Chains A and B, each alone.
Chain A
């Protein structure tokens, strides 16, 4: 390979691949012109690198210094996207929890239930509630009439009992009168020779 094909600047700048570098090193051992070129480039780099790094004149302000402290609204605005996402999810979760605590219990969805089951449930509920409701309605509406009827019935029974007792007394009196008359007949017959 001719000398001109070798990239000696890349060689001294460590930009040469390892396999190519080995080839160039082998060439360098036997080529005085390339040795001079590499030496000149190397010494140039040494000279340039003599410029030292200068210490920084004064300390840089850290972002944690109070001068860089952002107001609270800017700090919120600068929150990263995941933090915004988490905050949003947190707000939604809290809203769902509050809604669950404050809202009435959910109504069963008609579309999801079996109509026959609903009908049976309604019928059972009617049968369970109807007698008590009817009794309560009857008791409310007919209570007064029933009480009046009971009072009249009691009065009627009382009068009937009095009439029965009066009739019984009359019967007894009539029976006693008849018995007396029979006795008088017996006495009269005995008096006039009969048994």
Chain B
């Protein structure tokens, strides 16, 4: 994480000076994580891809506003979050996972039952809880970093993550991997 921040700082610093190759390198480093974050929030592969593209375009246009280049990651997630929220506020064509996204999410999972159970458990969380859990469990951010990304108090984030984790624990109890696996 420290190395990633150091490299992000250098790349973001160069990108702020107009080095397009440096920004392209940042895109390559973060696109998969941002795409998966958006995919888990929106549930639509195409929407996630479009939002991912918009996120990086806005990041490039607003690079001058990035106060600390070492914090490029949380800053990028904040842009992605804002893009996702703007998208979710628009009328949606459907609320469930589209077929392509659902197929993609299930494709690489084994066993299938476990992945279905995890998806179902995540779907039972409120959008706020789900996003906080995603940022904590999948992206590995600290509570204060998530608070900065979502623009709300760290205590609220902690509450959302704890509640979400408790709900996931209850929902996944029957399919948890057996002890020692």
Contacts and interface: CB of A to CB of B under 8 A. Distances in A.
Given A60-B27, A60-B31, A63-B56, A52 B108 contact: yes
B64 interface: yes
Interface stretch (B71-79, B89-97, B113-121): B113-121
Given A47-B175, A48-B172, A51-B109, A60 B114 contact: no
B53 A61 contact: yes
Interface in B101-147: 104-105, 108-109, 114-115, 117-119, 121-122, 133, 136-138, 142-143
A41 B24 contact: no
Contacts of B21: 64
Contacts of B84: none
A60 B108 contact: no
Contacts of B179: 39, 43
What band does the interface of chain A fall in when counting residues whose beta carbon is under 8 Å from B? 20 to 34
Lowest 8 CB-CB distances: which A-B pairs, in order?
Answer: A64-B20, A43-B176, A44-B169, A62-B24, A53-B36, A63-B60, A56-B35, A47-B172
Interface of A: 9-10, 13, 15, 39-41, 43-58, 60-64, 68, 80
Interface of B: 20-21, 23-24, 27, 31-33, 35-36, 39-40, 45, 49, 52-53, 56-57, 60, 64, 104-105, 108-109, 114-115, 117-119, 121-122, 133, 136-138, 142-143, 158, 161-162, 165-166, 168-169, 172-173, 175-177, 179
